[in-house]
A = this chain, B = another copy of it.
Amino acid sequence: MEYVLVTGGAGYIGSHTVAELLENGYNCVVVDNLSNSSYESIARLKVLMKHDIPFHQVDIQDETALDAVFGKYKIDSVIHFAGLKAVGESAHIPLRYYHNNIMGTISLLEVMEKHGVHKLVFSSSATVYGDATRFPNMIPIPEECPTGPINPYGRTKLTIEEILKDLYASNVQIWKFAILRYFNPIGAHFSGLIGEDPLGIPNNLLPFMAQVAVGRREKLFVFGNDYDSRDGTPIRDYIHVVDLAKGHIAALKYLDKNSHTGLCREWNLGSGTGSTVMEVYKACCQSIGKDIPYEIVGRRAGDVLNLTAKPDRAMNELHWKTELDVKRACEDLWKWATGNPYGYQLENVTSAFFSKEKVHESRVLTVGEGTSFEVSVANIGATLVDLKIDGKSVVLGLNDEEEYCRPENPYFGATIGRYANRIRNGEFVLDGKNYKLTNNEKASVCHSGIQSYHKKRFLGPLVQNTQRNEFVAKFLLIDAKTEIPGDVHVTVTYHVNTEAKELSIDYEAELLNGNSTIINLTNHSYFNLNLDQEKTVENTEIVLVADKILDVDESGIPNGELTELHSQGNGKVIKLNKGIPAYDSCYVTANKSSINTRSHSPAKIFTAYHKASKLQLDIFATDPTFQFYTGDFISHPDFAPRAGFCCEPGRFIDAINIDPWKNAVILNIGEKYGSRIIYKFRTRSNASYWESSI
């Protein structure tokens, strides 16, 4: 598998280019030091594009770390965005700009050379031209316009161009460099999920306007209206970032097409149309639907009158041109800004490394942090690691990924899949073909056995704070190449409402290849409502909202028969006292069954109440059965038997082998698998009300 290495791939242009690369069938590895970007852009892209994007938090100046990345992946080419980019700042701290931008590039080129990688697309800038109006007839600016940057930022870009040219000249057979001179990128991804997220005060017009519009800043400053232009404000060539990203694909293809020899060439990436600052201001106000306050202030040092591209070379040679106008860019920006007023930073959301490896692929994310309802979820198993009511845990969890991956973990909080619960002897027939999975129990495969999701790292999450009290965290698993036929995309979406104290989990899956597969997804959380961290669930009272139970043999496999429930179900209150026998049975709810149960209304299937804490949990589900388990067989050193109870909604046990139940676990190509579970917590001071409420 070949990769395009994207340096600075978590940044504004970088992340949009990663999206385009994936769209065009390339695999990407991203390195980024995250000094002015957020890993969330990559986490979101993975879920959005349904594709893994290996990420390494590496400063490209660190040759050792960069070398390790080149050693790990078969890198075919590099798109190099990493660098500092604020014109104004560059005049104040020029050394840092020269150090970071030039050294980073030299280090990158040295490592490329060492690993025999010779293809690079470089992120240059129209800033290298300086003030093109110093020449007659150089607006719009062709690539032949003499360079003459007027700020340190521009000089670092030009120096890097020169380094590339000298390196190319030192071996014209092997080096292939595309130098892309960007004009003014604006806008955001159509999804509204990725966009520009500047640290501190934005340097550029549109992010600044967006921040004024969402109330983060008071007013826009317009730097000078005494330029020799239509309305006195400077003229720029604004280009939609998605168009710009596409320019990189075009450049990469050009380098590949010219495979017989090296090359080093510059291309302007611009629209060819200049807009004044005020024109863009107006377009933006229109998208937003209101007038943004602004103030005309003095000219800014380093600004020039007109930077409009002559994009003919890119059109002719790269067969690329802009397709999206300023209006569209403003609309997309506004979609991004309203959905993400603070960019990738979400209020009451924190994340931390969850593996001892300290990689972004394995994190624990807490939503609602600081509220009375905190939910922590991790990439490993898309696991519900913790759920805290008023700061006290009500689910059992472990400390890190490594603990979750140990054999003694009894599926704490995990996503169970591809096929939850048991399959008799791991055998089934699908599309007329016999399958045999590797048993992990004596006479069955339980929770998918060796391909169990609870030890797989899910991609993402894509976290959003959709309303003040509502959070969404969406994980994706590309579940491929296992013993189970067919690869699937599985998305697990946690919805958290901190005010309603409600957590719901949505499961969705699609088959990627083949004709059909088997599937049954659920969550395996252990609850303990005592809040005081007592060791067992004693003193909890439960109600199982079911009137039938599945008859099973000693291996837990049903024979297809159902038994009517009497004392132990059917709406009766059961006290989980010390003396009661172990529960580990499958109950049938009133829900109807199908491959996608999400069209059904979730029904209440279970209630638990703890007299001391006065906490009540109601579970609602769309699936036709649920397994209730009193945790008697927990054999974890840190947890006693009955430390928590489980209630796992799902399809019928071993359904794939039992005709009337089979269709609900067979996912055919083109269909969607779906189900939903809702956990709702409330505190009831009046215990008698609870008893009577059932």
Interface residues of A (CB under 8 A from B): 90-95, 98-99, 102-103, 106, 109-110, 113, 152, 155, 159, 162-163, 166-167, 169-170
Contact = CB atoms under 8 A, between A and B. Distances in A.
25 contacts: A90-B166, A91-B166, A91-B169, A92-B170, A94-B163, A94-B167, A94-B169, A95-B106, A95-B109, A95-B110, A95-B163, A95-B167, A98-B102, A98-B106, A98-B163, A99-B103, A99-B106, A99-B110, A102-B103, A102-B106, A102-B159, A103-B103, A155-B159, A159-B159, A159-B162
Choose among A91, A98, A103, A106 the residue with the greatest number of B CB atoms under 10 Å from its CB: A98
A429 to B, nearest CB: 62
Shortest Cβ-Cβ A-B pairs, 9 listed: A94-B166, A152-B166, A99-B106, A159-B159, A98-B163, A94-B167, A94-B170, A155-B162, A98-B106
A169 B301 CA distance: 12
A284 B194 CA distance: 70
Nearest to A301: B169
A113 B167 CA distance: 31
A171 to B, nearest CB: 9
A92 B167 CA distance: 8
A198 to B, nearest CB: 22
A166 B170 contact: no
Given A92-B170, A102-B106, A103-B103, 19 more contacts: A93-B170, A94-B167, A95-B106, A95-B110, A95-B113, A95-B163, A98-B102, A98-B106, A98-B163, A98-B166, A99-B103, A102-B102, A102-B103, A102-B159, A103-B106, A152-B166, A155-B166, A159-B159, A159-B162
B155 A91 contact: no
Contacts of A92: 170
A98 B160 CA distance: 10
Contacts of A159: 102, 155, 159, 162
Nearest to A167: B94
Query: What number of copies of this chain does the assembly contain?
Result: 2
A162 B152 CA distance: 8
Contacts of A94: 163, 166-167, 169-170
Contacts of A106: 95, 98-99, 102-103
| Prevailing SS type, chain A contact patch | helix
B91 A170 contact: yes
A442 B627 CA distance: 99
Contacts of A98: 102, 106, 163, 166
Contacts of A95: 106, 109-110, 113, 163, 167
A327 B548 CA distance: 113
Contacts of A155: 159, 162, 166
A470 B94 CA distance: 55
A113 B90 CA distance: 16
Contacts of A99: 103, 106, 110
Contacts of A90: 166
Nearest to A164: B94
Contacts of A162: 155, 159
A83 to B, nearest CB: 15
A353 B91 CA distance: 46
Choose among A92, A99, A113, A166 the residue with the greatest number of B CB atoms under 10 Å from its CB: A166
A107 to B, nearest CB: 8
A247 to B, nearest CB: 26
A302 to B, nearest CB: 11
A99 B162 CA distance: 13
Contacts of A113: 95
A181 B109 CA distance: 30
Nearest to A149: B162
Nearest to A160: B98
Contacts of A102: 98, 102-103, 106, 159
A351 B152 CA distance: 46
Nearest to A168: B94
A89 to B, nearest CB: 10
A109 B106 CA distance: 19
A94 to B, nearest CB: 4
Choose among A94, A110, A159 the residue with the greatest number of B CB atoms under 10 Å from its CB: A94
Contacts of A167: 94-95
A98 B102 CA distance: 9
A110 B100 CA distance: 12
A565 B678 CA distance: 118
A160 to B, nearest CB: 9
Contacts of A93: 170
A110 B163 CA distance: 22
Nearest to A113: B95
A162 B90 CA distance: 13
A574 to B, nearest CB: 68
Contacts of A152: 166
A176 to B, nearest CB: 16
A596 to B, nearest CB: 57
A321 B106 CA distance: 39
A103 B103 CA distance: 7
Nearest to A109: B95
A663 to B, nearest CB: 63
A103 B93 CA distance: 16
A122 to B, nearest CB: 14
A64 to B, nearest CB: 15
Contacts of A163: 94-95, 98
Contacts of A109: 95
A90 B166 CA distance: 9
A90 B95 CA distance: 24
A221 to B, nearest CB: 22
A11 to B, nearest CB: 23
A556 to B, nearest CB: 64
A175 to B, nearest CB: 11
A124 B167 CA distance: 22
A507 B95 CA distance: 52
A170 B91 CA distance: 6
Contacts of A91: 166, 169-170
Nearest to A155: B162
A508 B188 CA distance: 81
A113 B93 CA distance: 11
